[in-house]
Structure 1
Amino acid sequence: MNEERRVLLHFVTKYLTKWGQNVVVSGAGVLFGNYDPKRAHWAACHHAGKDLVWEVIVPIPLVPEITYRYAIVDDSMSVITYASNTHTLLLPQSLEDGSIIDIYDEWMDRSHPGYLLSTCAFTKVILPDRPRVTNQILLHLQPTLNEAIIRFQVWDWEVQGGQEMCVSGGAPQLGNWQIQQVLQMTQVAEACWEAEVSVPLNAFPVTYKYAVGDKTGESLLLEHGESRIVALPMSETSRAPAVLVRHDGHFRRERRWRGAGVAVPVFSIRTKSSLGCGEFADLALVAKWCASVGLKMLQLLPVADTSVRGDWRDSYPYSSLCVFALHPMYLNVSQLGGGNLPPLPDSIINEIESARSTLSSLPDMDYEATIKTKLRIARAVFDSLGQETMQSDAYLKFWEENSEWLRPYSVFCFLRDLFGTAEHWNWGVFATPTPEMLLRLSSEDQEWHASIQFHSYLQFHLHNQLSAASSAAASYQVALKGDLPIGVDKRSVDTWLYPKLFHMDTSTGAPPDAFAPGGQNWGFPTYNWEEMESDNYSWWKRRLQHMSQYFQAYRIDHVLGFFRIWELPATARTGLLGRFRPSVPIWRHELESRGIWDFDRLCEPYVTNALLERTFGEGELAAEVAARYFVDGPGRRLKFKKQFSTEAALWTLQPRPGLPEELADEVHATRKGLLALRQNVLLLRDPEDPERFYPRFALSTTSSFRDLDLQWRDELSRLHDDYYHGNRSESLWREQALRTLPVLQDASDMLVCGEDLGMIPSCVHPIMEELGIVGLRIQRMPSECDVEFGNPSDYPYMTVASPSSHDTSTLRAWYQEDKERGERFFMKNLGGEGAATAPETCTPEIAAAVIEQHLESSSVLAIFPLQDLMATSAVLSSSRPAEEETINDPTNSEHYWRYRMHVNVEDLIEDYELKMKLKSMLLASGRAAKEDFGGSG
Structure 2
Amino acid sequence: MSAMSLSSSASRVLVHFRTSYFTEWGQHVAVCGEGPLFGNWDVKKAHWLSCRHVGEELLWEGLVPIPAVKDFTYRLAVVNEDFEVLKWASERHTVVLPDGLEEGAIVDVDEVWTDEGHPSLVLARSAFARVVWRNRCTAAGGRVLRQAPLLNEVVVRFQVNDGELKEGETLCILGGTAQLGNWQLGEVLAMTALSPSTWEAEVRLPLSSLPCTYKYGIRRGDGSLELEAGENRMVALPANDGARAPALVARFDGCFRRQQRWRGAGVAVPVFSLRSAQSVGSGEFLDLIPLVDLCAATGFSLIQVLPVSDTSVRGAEPHWRDSYPYSSLCVFALHPLYLRLQALADELPADIAAEIEEAQRALDLEEGVDFEATMKTKLRIARAVFDRCGAADLESESFRRFCSDAWEWLQPYAVFIWLRRVFGTGEHWRWGALSQPTREVLDRLSSPSQEWHRSLQFTYWLQWHLHRQLLQASQHAASRHVSLKGDLPIGVDKCSVDTWMDPKLFRMNVSTGAPPDYFDPNGQNWGFPTYNWEEMGKDGYLWWRRRLAHMAQYFHAYRIDHILGFFRIWEIPGDCTSGILGRFRPSIPLSRHELESHGIWDFDRLCEPWITDEVLREVFGPELASEVAARYLQEQANGRYRFRQQYASEAALTAIPPRRCLMADMAPEDVEAVRRGLLSLRQNVVLLRDPEDPNAFYPRFALSTTSSFKALEPHWKEELARLHNDYYYHRQDALWRQQSHRTLPALMGATDMLVCGEDLGMIPACVHPVMAELGLIGLRIQRMPAEEGAKFGDPLAYPYMTVASPSSHDTTVTRGWWEADERRRQEFWTEVLGGEGRAPASCTPAVLEHILQQHMDSPSMLAIFPLQDLLPLSSRLPDVPAALQQVNEPSNPEHYWRYRLHVSLEQIQEDADLRHLLTDMLQAAQRFHGDAPRTG
1:716 partnered with 2:716: no
566 and 180 in structure 1: CA distance in 2 versus 1, 3 angstrom threshold: same
Equivalence for 1:249: 254
Q: Which residue matches 1:687?
A: 691
In the TM superposition, 1:459-538 aligns within 5 A as 459-538=463-542
Q: Which moved more, 1:349-358 or 1:40-49?
A: 40-49
Of residues 579, 583, 594, the one that matches 2:583 is 579
Q: Which residue of 2 aligns with 1:590?
A: 594
- Which shows bigger deviation, 278-287 or 415-424? 415-424
| 1:427-457 CA-partner distances (Å, limit 9, x unpaired) | 3333332223222222222222212222221
2:545 matched to which residue of 1?
Answer: 541
- One of 297, 310, 325 as aligned partner of 2:333: 325
Structure 1 length-normalised TM: 0.96
Distance (whole Å) between structure 2 residues aligned to residue 393 and residue 458 of structure 1: 16
User: Hey, what does 1:208 align to over in structure 2?
Assistant: 214
Matched, 1:97 2:103: yes
CA distance in 1, matches of 2:80, 2:837: 61
Is 1:916 the counterpart of 2:920 in the alignment?
no
Q: How do 1:15-54 residues align onto structure 2 when only pairs under 5 Å count?
A: 15-54=21-60
Matched, 1:880 2:880: yes
- Report how far residue 2 of structure 1 moved: 4.9
Provide the residue aligned with 2:369 in structure 1. 365
Question: For 1:670 and 1:41, how far apart are their aligned partners in 2?
Answer: 67
Instruction: Name the Cα RMSD after superposition.
Output: 2.0
Aligned 8 A contact 1:122 1:128 in 2? no
Q: Say if 2:707 is the partner of 1:707.
A: no
2:867 aligned residue: 866
CA distance in 1, matches of 2:192, 2:202: 9
470-479 or 447-456, larger mean C-alpha shift: 447-456
Structure 1 residues 588 and 98, CA, compared in 2 at 3 Å: closer, same or farther?
A: closer
Identify the match of residue 784 of structure 2 among 767, 781, 784.
781
Shift of residue 643 of structure 1? 1.2
Q: 1:584 to 1:40 in 2, by over 3 A?
A: closer
* 1:264 and 2:251 correspond: no
1:748 equivalent in structure 2: 751
Aligned twin of 2:925: 925
Match of 2:827 in 1: 824
2:194 to 184, 188, 197: 188
Aligned-residue offset at 1:593:
2.4
Alignment partner for residue 314 of structure 1, among 302, 322, 336? Answer: 322
How far is the alpha carbon of 1:247 from its aligned partner? 1.4
> Which deviations, in whole Å up to 9, do the C-alpha atoms of 1:171-201 show, x marking residues without a partner?
2222222332211111112311111122223
Q: Distance in 2 between matches of 1:28 and 1:624?
A: 75
Q: Which residue of 2 aligns with 1:557?
A: 561
Which residue matches 2:294? 289
Match of 2:872, as an amino acid? A
8 Å contact 1:62–1:93 — kept in the other structure?
Answer: no
1:167 alignment counterpart: 173
1:666-688 Cα distance to aligned partner (Å, 9 max, x none): 43232222111111222111111
- Across the two proteins, how many residue pairs are aligned to each other? 926
Residues 22-54 of structure 1 deviation map (CA, whole Å, 9 limit, x = unaligned):
122233333333333333322221112332111
1:848 is aligned to 2:849:
yes
Q: Mind listing any 5+ residue stretches in structure 2 that lack a counterpart?
A: 1-6
Q: In 2 relative to 1, CA 664–869 (structure 1 residues): closer, same or farther, beyond 3 Å?
A: closer
Partner of 2:771: 768
Q: Residue 135 and residue 766 in structure 1: after superposition, are their counterparts in 2 closer, same or farther (change >3 A)?
A: closer
Aligned partners of 2:815 and 2:882 also within 8 Å: yes
Q: Distance in 2 between matches of 1:39 and 1:524?
A: 42
Please list, as runs of the form range in 1=range in 2, the aligned pairs for 1:434-449 lying within 5 A after superposition.
Answer: 434-449=438-453
Counterparts in 2 of 1:847 and 1:257: CA distance versus 1, 3 Å:
same
Residues 233-242 or 277-286, more deviating: 233-242
Aligned partner of 1:124 in structure 2 is 130
* 8 Å CA contact retained: 1:2, 1:61: no
**1:303 partnered with 2:302:** no
User: What CA distance in whole angstroms lies between the structure 2 residues aligned with 1:36 and 1:708?
Assistant: 53
Residue 580 of structure 1, CA deviation: 0.9
The equivalent residue for 1:394 is: 398
Shift of 1:690: 0.9
Letter in 2 for 1:187: A
Distance 2:637 2:738 in 1: 43
- CA distance in 1 between counterparts of 2:21 and 2:371 reads 54
Q: Are 1:814 and 2:813 counterparts? A: no
Q: Is the 8 A contact 2:31 2:49 kept in 1?
A: yes
Shift of 1:7: 3.0
Structure 1's 897 and 86: CA in aligned 2 closer, same or farther, altered over 3 A?
Answer: same
Aligned partner letter, 1:209: K
Distance of 2:45 and 2:700 partners within structure 1:
48
Contact 2:80 2:86 in 1 (8 A): yes
One-letter code aligned to 1:245: A
Query: Which deviates the most, 173-182 or 754-763?
Result: 173-182
Helix, strand or coil at the partner of 2:755: strand
TM-superposed CA distance for 1:710, in Å, is: 2.7
Give 1:635's match in structure 2, choosing from 623, 631, 638. Answer: 638
1:403 to 407, 411, 414: 407
Alignment correspondent of 1:622: 625
State the partner residue of 2:3: none
Instruction: Kindly indicate whether the alpha-carbon contact (under 8 Å) linking 1:654 and 1:668 is maintained by their aligned counterparts in 2.
Output: no
- AA at the equivalent of 2:158: F
Secondary structure of the 2:243 match is coil
1:232 to 212, 237, 252: 237
| SS of aligned partner of 1:118 | coil
Cα deviation 1:796-832 (Å, max 9, x = unaligned): 0110000100000001111011222122111111111
CA distance in 2, matches of 1:116, 1:300: 21
2:141–2:195 contact (8 Å) kept in structure 1 = no
Partners of 1:655 and 1:30 in 2: CA distance: 72
Alignment match, 2:4: none
Moved more, 490-499 or 419-428: 419-428
- Answer yes or no: is the 8 Å Cα contact 2:86–2:741 preserved in 1: no
Contact 2:566 2:739 (C-alpha < 8 Å) held by counterparts: yes
Deviations 1:338-373 (A, max 9, x none): 0xxxx2111100000001111122221111111111
* Change in CA separation of 1:934 and 1:857 when aligned onto 2, cut-off 3 Å: closer
**1:133 shift after superposition:** 4.2
Deviation, 1:151, is 1.3
Q: Distance in 2 between matches of 1:569 and 1:36?
A: 39
Q: Deviations over 1:904-927 (max 9, x none)?
A: 111211211111111111111111
Q: Which runs of 5+ in 1 are unaligned?
A: none
**Structure 2 residue 565 is matched with structure 1 residue 566:** no
Aligned-residue offset at 1:488: 0.9
Contact 1:207/1:230 (8 A) holds in 2: yes
CA–CA distance in 2 between the matches of 1:689 and 1:43?
A: 42
Q: 1:262·1:297 contact (CA, 8 Å) conserved in 2?
A: yes
Letter in 2 for 1:845: A
**d(CA) in 2 for partners of 1:599, 1:149:** 71
CA–CA separation in structure 1 for the residues paired with 2:555 and 2:502: 25
Q: Percent identity?
A: 56
Aligned to 2:838: 837
Give the CA deviation at 1:233.
Answer: 3.2
Equivalent of residue 140 in structure 1, options 134, 146, 150? 146
CA distance in 2, matches of 1:668, 1:935: 58
Per-residue CA distance 1:553-598 (angstroms, 9 max, x = gap) = 0000110111111111111111111111111111112222233322
Q: Distance in 2 between matches of 1:4 and 1:488?
A: 58
Match for residue 159 of structure 2?
A: 153
Please tell me the residue identity of whatever aligns with 2:446.
Answer: S
Instruction: Please tell me the residue identity of whatever aligns with 1:648.
Output: A
TM-score, normalised relative to structure 2: 0.96
